[in-house]
A and B are shown apart, each in its own frame.
Chain A
Amino acid sequence: MDLSVVILVEMLYAVASLVLISSGLAVVFGMMKVINLAHGEFMMMGGYVTITAVGLGVNIFVAMLIIAPLVVGLIGLVVERLVIRHLYGRLVDTMLATWGLSLLFIGLATMIFGNTTTGISTPIPGFTVGNYQINGYNFFIIVVAVVLVIAMLVVLKSTRLGLIARGTMQRPDMAAALGYSPDRIYMATFFCGSALSGLAGAVLAPLVGLVPTSGGAYIAKAFITVIAGGPSLVAGLISSASLFGVVNQVFTFAISPVFGEVALLVSAVILLRLLPQGVTAKFFKGKM
């Protein structure tokens, strides 16, 4: 009984961390069709911003939930103005440019923070479930992921802003004809996507040892989750993250963490063979 609770929590945590890792990319790649290979580095920067802010005496939750997304969002804004906006609609060129950006960010982080491992302790103590101890921070990550998903749904579906953004992504010419500047909407969307990446990096930072190359560990998972999710932003994110998170944890518990990772990748390959357009091209059609 206790064990099943523990496994359930670990599964929810795995799903939640996939949602977190992928949400920024889902906005930038899923909505804007910009292949952002620097996504992992945005997360890495979120982590460093958090650690620096905590080092300066800022409350850790303020640092993670407010400062890191803002700072990384602003970096994203600069990147969008200088690089990305010239490359909309040119898929391969954006790949090359963002890959270059990722190398640049790794280099900058190495220069500033050194090519060495840093980290902070988790702010939430562990607690007991029957005979088991669980990392209390897992719950925090689950809560952040749930709030994030709800917020994305509400913004995209129920606000005028979300409506304009969605419209612009589908038909920029029509949006322009109705008096909205696609240029500014793209800019705002990229800012949001970067901020989400920064948030993810910040929230995950206390669980890992951070190095400038940490971003590489996230990028593959993020792309797999977003691509397997398919055209619907939120529904796709939730469905593929749930699938991969559960598969990963089942195999991790049954065999070993290495097999968990392998199983995740194998299931992604099979899924994309069966549903090449992603889960939401077939199910939950027309959902957010």
Chain B
Amino acid sequence: MTVNRRAFLGTTAALTGAAMLPGFALAGETIKLGSVLDTSGIFDAYGKPMDMAMRLAVSQINAAGGLLGKQVEVIAYDTQSDMALYSQYAQQLTRQDKVDVVQGGILSASREAIRQTMRKTKTLYFYNVLYEGGVCDRNIFINGVTPAQQVAALVPYAMGKSGKKVYILAADYNYGQITARWIQKFVTDNGGETVGVDFFPLDVSDFGSTIAKIQTAGTDLVIAPLVGGAHLSFFRQWAAAGMKDRIPLASTTLGVGNEHKVLTAAEGNGIMVAYNYSQELDTPANAAFKAAWAAAYGDSKAIHELAVSNYQGVMTWAKAVAQAGSLDREAIITALESGLSIDGPAGKVTVDPKTHHAVLDVHLMEFENQGMKVIETLPQRQPIDTQSVCDLAANPGDNTQYEIDI
């Protein structure tokens, strides 16, 4: 067969045109929700259920008729627990896929890796993970608990059950560093004393010498903002050394990835935590959520704190889009800043207009037989840490993560 230049150009042009046509037609028909999460690698225990929750939320939105008469389409990337991939996929989502909103990021390091890209490209960004607080940026909305909501409740409770000398073991990156300072502040505020602070890179898995050091310091209580699969070894080694019954343990992160189901009951029982969500929450909203999850994925075992946050983040965005009646970023931000709230599986979540953080319920809990038993509920706590430094109404151009000074 011979192909001359003219015939070739003719067919190619026709084919290209044909290929582009449906794209053109579709562009106006769906709303694109971009998602970046670690669904593999050492943070997959966090990311996989978050991804499931996001897809569940989107399918519920679509089943209810979509948004603004359009279906929501998910464009999701797996960042493989690799911080470098976050910036790459953030570029992809904002510049090539041109999504209408980005939901995702797990570690604070990953959030900071993509936050400026979102801001520059004017892509609305939701970060749905408990974190160290202080981010003040009009383009981002955060619905995870911050130290003033979580640590401020957990520290007095845990100290009341143990004693005044606190030892802190934290992950060695921005989340752990800043949270450790918050813990020190609340320990001091409650008349206690911090007898030691140790930071661990995320791949450290040998804690033998640390366990000895904790005992040397005459510790009454250990608070552990440790992160990821390698750090889970600490809780195992702590139990293996027989320390569990001697020094009580509290954590600001253990359990958000359902670690209490990975640890045995003997290893986990009695560890104190404070979060927005527990599978053991006895509310109609939670029961309905668990039923919907089980219908979609077989059973509801995978649900955890971060998954629920992610679900609530998508739902908050959806409600704001419906209220704004458009996909315009400014209109959606205005809707979100109107004091918008949703009723999620973990209770009422309200957007705080000044900080773009969330007002939500926090529950003090203890691990019991691989579950999280709710001890006390602290309703509708304000993110006062971020509120004290951040006012986006007065200063909309702010783009800082404020840190606490001690």
Contacts and interface: CB of A to CB of B under 8 A. Distances in A.
**A-side interface mostly:** mixed
Chain B CB within 10 Å, residue with most, of A122, A126, A127, A209: A209
Contact of A258 (B172, B216, B266): B172
Interface in B196-243: 198-201, 203-213, 215-216, 229-230, 232-233, 236-237, 239-243
Nearest to A251: B209
B262 A10 contact: no
B237 A135 contact: yes
Contacts of B205: 207-209, 217
Contact of B198 (A117, A126, A206, A256): A256
B40 interface: yes
A119 interface: yes
Nearest to A127: B242
B264 interface: yes
Nearest to A217: B203
A136 interface: yes
Given A133-B246, A207-B206, A117 B237 contact: no
A137 B45 contact: no
Given A132-B215, A256-B199, A257-B204, A126 B240 contact: yes
A208 B231 CA distance: 8
A133 B229 contact: no
A51 to B, nearest CB: 12
A134 interface: yes
A122 B266 CA distance: 12
A260 B204 CA distance: 12
Interface in A1-33: 3, 6-7, 10, 13, 17
A266 interface: no
Contacts of B207: 257
A127 B267 CA distance: 16
A119 B208 contact: no
A258 B201 contact: yes
B232 A257 contact: no
A183 B26 CA distance: 65
A253 B213 contact: yes
Interface residues of A, number: 40
B42 A258 contact: no
A136 B243 CA distance: 12
Contacts of A213: 41-42
B264 A135 contact: no
Interface string A143-160: 000000000000000000
Nearest to A7: B212
A177 to B, nearest CB: 48
Interface in A253-268: 253, 256-258, 260
Nearest to A119: B236
Contacts of A135: 208, 211, 237, 240-241
Chain B CB within 10 Å, residue with most, of A119, A124, A136: A119
Chain A CB within 10 Å, residue with most, of B201, B205, B208: B208
Interface in A160-175: none
B263 to A, nearest CB: 8
29 contacts: A3-B216, A10-B209, A13-B208, A110-B40, A115-B40, A116-B44, A116-B45, A121-B236, A121-B239, A125-B242, A126-B241, A127-B242, A128-B242, A133-B211, A133-B215, A134-B241, A135-B211, A136-B240, A136-B242, A137-B240, A207-B240, A208-B233, A209-B205, A211-B42, A213-B42, A217-B203, A217-B205, A253-B209, A257-B204
Interface of B: 40-42, 44-45, 80, 172, 198-201, 203-213, 215-216, 229-230, 232-233, 236-237, 239-243, 246, 262, 264, 266-267
